[in-house]
Structure 1
Amino acid sequence: MIPPLLFQLMILLSWPINALAESPAIAKPNCPTSCGNGSISIQFPFGIGAGCYLDHQYEVTCISSTPILRSINLTVLDISISSEASTILVNHTVLHSCNLESIRGEIVMNGTVNLESSPFFFSDENRFIGVGCNTFAYLLSNRSIISGCLSFCDKSNISAETMPLRNVTLRNSDCNGIKCCQTRIPSSRDLQQLRVILSTTNYKENTTMTEQNKCKSAFLVDQEWFGNNIDSPGKAQGLKHVPVLLDWGIHESSFDLIERNPSKRYNKTSDCNQIFAHSTSTNTSTNATFTMPVRRCRCNPGYEGNPYLLHGCQGKLLPILI
């Protein structure tokens, strides 16, 4: 006969092994979690197919096994839900021009994706990058400059006013102002509309430049991806698409559609009362601007998984001390 204390210990030791077999769900039942054999996990409130997403903002369409977020028409590279943040990584177009010298240095403008009225926001974990010789690149939001940087052809182009310590060594391998510059964007949870502006700083009528030096580009990019993949201006030149990180949540108007909400039982496992941003929307007929609260859910301490699902947050496995 097994002593009662030993029997209880055997039950406790066996619990983590059984719990490992059941991982938290990421999507609604009977809904696909990826496009074909793709490696990108589509987590609720995002979903593929009718009944699998919360509302139209989160609908994902598979095109040749590539997930496309229909509401903003961008390719999805990753969806992340954690206690710290809810983010989605998307593929975004780079503003590129090789004609600024020939068009008398005029400004080239390109509107980025307009996220107004959506529950998506540009994350401050992105960096703004300008690439090329004598390039002035900056970002506008609501007609105000919020970020910008200058890049020069080489150190000889830098004036004493711009860089008084002219004996400072600048490595060509860094995005430090020589053919490539970078800067932060404001830490704002309400950043939804950006416009990229790209221009040249020294147009001269009879100036001749190599074809490579004529080309300039500017883009917003996820800082982690940029740091891991771009270690020289040459690698930054010619990029056509780059990953951009977006924060996201649930509009107050759509919040009641989450199945977990009617059951107070799940208040113990997750928290969905965190309002982290306000989405902007403009009435086209009256030109009036208004905002909508956006909430974010997260699993409570001791739980992990998808807090937007009814049974999404599961208890973490804790080590058993003997």
Structure 2
Amino acid sequence: MSQTEAAESANTALPGCPNSCGGVPIPYPFGIDSNCAMSQDFEVRCITAHNGISTPYMSEHFNQTCWKWNNSTANFDLSYYTAIAIRDINLSLGQARITSPINSQCYDSTTKKVDYNNWEVILTDTPYKFNREKNKFVAIGCDTLAYIKFSINQNNYWGGCGSWCYSPEALKNGSCSGIGCCHTDLPNGTSYIWIEFDHNYTSSHVYNFSRCSYAMLTEESDEFMFNTNYITTNRLFGQNTTTVIDWTIGNTTCDIARTNKSSYACRSDHSVCLNSGNGPGYLCNCAEGYQGNPYLEGGCQGRL
């Protein structure tokens, strides 16, 4: 086995625990079921669907909530809970990419009513925060004003953006400048998300070419580029996107964590501790020239 192969093989789960689920590596401190994870917050459920495809999900203590607008009561009803699927986990960056829903607001020209779906995720008092640099709050539509409520240290704030257009000819692929698509940044330290639409903007004036509006917290990458058919078709309706979350160990700094050898998470020789850049806590990395899993005894291997 080469040094590179040895280093990569160290990037694994605890001994005796599954290394992956559905082709997605699950490295410690994450683990499939309670005996394989550092703590309850890092438990992963590996669920196999009827089609035989397995998908990793965050612990059952973490759920996304969809709220649906009830036109009769003029209030939100709980529509459903959905588990949070994990697309991948990055040990060195302390990040995970998760699946999150695209919220919709659609106008019915027959009933003159509007159907809304709002999204809520609560990560307060957990090792997780929404990543500021890799996510954008995006709204899509031609008569759309969408808001995002977020919580930092249990204090609530609001942000949002609006997009308008009066004909499909005004739309341009790739552009998210306020004509059919808008976006805004997320602040650091966000642990709670609520996304909703302003009910005064309903697409009723543009329903002949744009019946629905959409809002999402999505990874800012090549995966998401505005396309004019997001406006003119139902391509986004009921779909999901990718959101990036940060995770840390504990809620102390490296200097404090090192004083308690029994709980200090950087277990491997040739490992280093890094303070989190998104709230309290720390991460472990392998020292320069080594690769693998610093959270495991002997996990950093292969002087490169």
Instruction: Specify if TM > 0.5.
Output: yes
CA contact (8 A) 1:172 1:178 kept: no
Query: Match for 1:152 among 164, 183, 188?
Result: 164
Shift of 1:220: 0.2
Aligned-partner Cα distance in 2 for 1:203–1:91: 26
1:90 matched to 2:136 = no
Aligned-partner Cα distance in 2 for 1:75–1:40: 11
1:215 matched to 2:192 = no
Q: Quote the residue 1:26 is aligned against.
A: 12
Q: How does 1:188-203 map to 2 (within 5 A)?
A: 188=188, 190-199=189-198
With structure 2 as the length reference, what TM-score do the two structures score?
A: 0.73
Q: How does 1:1-322 map to 2 (within 5 A)?
A: 18-23=2-7, 24-35=10-21, 38-64=22-48, 65-70=54-59, 71-72=61-62, 73-82=83-92, 85-99=93-107, 110-124=118-132, 125-142=134-151, 143-145=156-158, 147-154=159-166, 171-186=172-187, 188=188, 190-199=189-198, 209-210=206-207, 213-224=210-221, 227-235=222-230, 237-238=236-237, 240-252=239-251, 261=265, 266=269, 269-272=270-273, 274-278=275-279, 293-317=280-304
Cα displacement string for residues 141-177 of structure 1 (whole angstroms, at most 9, x for unaligned residues):
24422x32211124799xxxxxxxxxxx862553332
Task: Return closer, same or farther for 1:239/1:129 CA change in 2, 3 Å cut-off.
Answer: farther
Gaps of 5+ in 2: 49-53, 63-82
Task: Return closer, same or farther for 1:296/1:100 CA change in 2, 3 Å cut-off.
Answer: farther
Counterpart AA for 2:185: R
SS in 2 for 1:45: coil
SS in 2 for 1:182: strand
Aligned-partner Cα distance in 1 for 2:108–2:294: 49
Q: CA RMSD in A?
A: 3.3
Task: Return closer, same or farther for 1:45/1:100 CA change in 2, 3 Å cut-off.
Answer: farther
CA contact (8 A) 2:3 2:303 kept: no
CA contact (8 A) 1:304 1:313 kept: yes
Counterpart AA for 1:311: G
Shift of 1:50: 3.7
With structure 1 as the length reference, what TM-score do the two structures score?
A: 0.69
Aligned-partner Cα distance in 2 for 1:274–1:26: 23
Write out the 4+ residue segments of structure 1 that deviate beyond 4 Å after TM superposition.
100-106, 200-204, 255-263
Task: Return closer, same or farther for 1:100/1:120 CA change in 2, 3 Å cut-off.
Answer: farther
Aligned-partner Cα distance in 2 for 1:245–1:74: 12
Counterpart AA for 2:198: S
Counterpart AA for 2:181: C
Shift of 1:262: 8.8
Counterpart AA for 2:25: S
Aligned-partner Cα distance in 2 for 1:262–1:86: 13
Larger CA Rg, structure 1 vs 2 = 1
CA contact (8 A) 1:277 1:295 kept: no
SS in 2 for 1:246: strand
When you count strand as a share of all residues, which structure comes out higher? Answer: 2
When you count helix as a share of all residues, which structure comes out higher? Answer: 1
Cα displacement string for residues 247-287 of structure 1 (whole angstroms, at most 9, x for unaligned residues):
0011248x769777596x73xx1123524444xxxxxxxxx
Task: Return closer, same or farther for 1:214/1:301 CA change in 2, 3 Å cut-off.
Answer: same
Aligned residues: 260
